[in-house]
Amino acid sequence: MSQADRPTIADVAKRAGVSKGLVSFALNDRPGVSPDTRERILAVASEMGWTPSIRARSLSVGRAFACGLVIGRSPDVIAADPFFPSLIAGLEDVFSVSGQVLVMAVATPGRQEAETYRGLALDRRVDGVILTDLRADDPRVELVHSLGLVAVTLGFPDAPSPFSSVSVDDGAGIRLAVEHLVALGHREIAHVAGPETMLHGTRRRAAFDDATARAGLRGRVVVTDFSAAEGARATQELLDAATAPTAIVYSNDPMAVAGLGVAQRRGLSVPRDLSITGFDDTEIGRHVHPALTTVTTDARGWGAFAARTLLGAIDGEPPRHLSLPDPTLTIRSSTSTPPAAAVATHEGE
């Protein structure tokens, strides 16, 4: 339907035989309209295919009815990581039924990213933003606040923040993965970690270090940028070591799947020779062979919670900090007991 063909409040009023003011009151669920009249107006509006004009609403209440999401990662990483489509689906689950538009941009962290936020704030193109991939002492928090935007952070910042947050304990999932491998008998466990600049990357690594220390082990860590290519490189590095690990805990599923491929091309059998765990329980991990043992999170639900929290903040609700349920570990066929030779080596030490 073109803009010219779109029915207006005046059209609905004429068809219903009432004033435009009464139609406006009924459509906005305001008092002063009898139940029968309200029902008749709503039925006429539905029959005519009337929908609210975002532009008109914006002008009348001084809001953009749009929310921003700026992702500061390489487009290649975003395209390959199923986490982001799931997160965006969760945001849209809420925004699509509340008359909001999601404005998304990909920007290089730093100056380009800052300019992107400034552009969104210009002339109130968005009412608020979702801040993802929090960093140490993240400068975006102060930047967004100074621009007069409302925001919600995915994760709890490590510095003071005026914004609401929606968090999940990433470390809980990594600890579960390590505990599972230790219970199977593994003593040589490595971690393919995310960037040290990202809080969830460092928190997952800290959880790995803590879990291996508690088990009396000294785990090895290789840092990556979360990409599958870097996951493959890290796996090669670990398998080339004088003492190769018998199990690798990856910080996301794409890297774990890449590591699985590296191991199999080397003639290793997973999980007989090498156990592998992932993170996020993406669909591809369920269909590779062997199916991936992985930390299960709810990225879509996280997005929906963040969207609702942001809308509440835009409406003037005070900042709040929500903690979602801890991740769980879904055990499939990519993990088992370590090779007998590795067990014998440790028993002989």
Length of the chain: 349
Query: Reduced to 3 states, what is the DSSP secondary structure of residue 105?
Result: strand
CATH 1.10.260.40 fits 9-51, yes or no: yes
Architecture of the domain defined by 66-167+299-325: 3-Layer(aba) Sandwich (3.40)
DSSP 8-state assignment for residue 292: P
Query: Are 16 and 23 a contacting pair, CB within 8 Å?
Result: yes
What is the reported pLDDT for 80? 79
Tokens of 78: 């975003």
Query: Reduced to 3 states, what is the DSSP secondary structure of residue 47?
Result: helix
Domains 9-51 and 66-167+299-325 share a fold: no
Scan for tokens 């409302």, then name that residue.
150
In the sheet with 328-330, reading across from the earlier edge strand, the strands are 220-223, 189-193, 247-250, 275-279, 293-296, 328-330
Please, what sign has the CA dihedral across residues 101, 81, 130, 112?
A: negative
Query: Which is the CATH superfamily of the domain at 170-292+332-347?
Result: Response regulator (3.40.50.2300)
Tell me which residue of 336, 185, 341, 190 sits closest to 272, measured CA to CA.
336
What is the reported pLDDT for 59? 42
pTM equals 0.80
Give the DSSP letter string of 62-96. T---EEEEEE-S-HHHHHH-THHHHHHHHHHHHHT
Hey, what amino acid is at 205?
A: R
Q: Where are the domains of the chain?
A: 9-51, 66-167+299-325, 170-292+332-347
Phi, psi angles (nearest 5°) of residue 222: -120, 125
pLDDT in tens, the chain (349 residues): 444 567 888 888 899 899 888 887 777 666 778 888 888 888 888 888 876 655 555 444 456 689 999 998 888 777 778 889 999 999 999 988 777 889 999 888 888 999 999 999 987 889 999 999 999 999 999 999 999 999 999 999 999 999 999 999 989 999 999 999 999 999 999 999 999 999 999 999 999 999 999 999 989 999 999 999 999 999 999 999 999 999 999 999 999 999 999 999 999 999 999 999 999 999 999 999 999 999 999 999 999 999 999 999 998 999 999 999 999 999 999 999 999 766 555 555 5
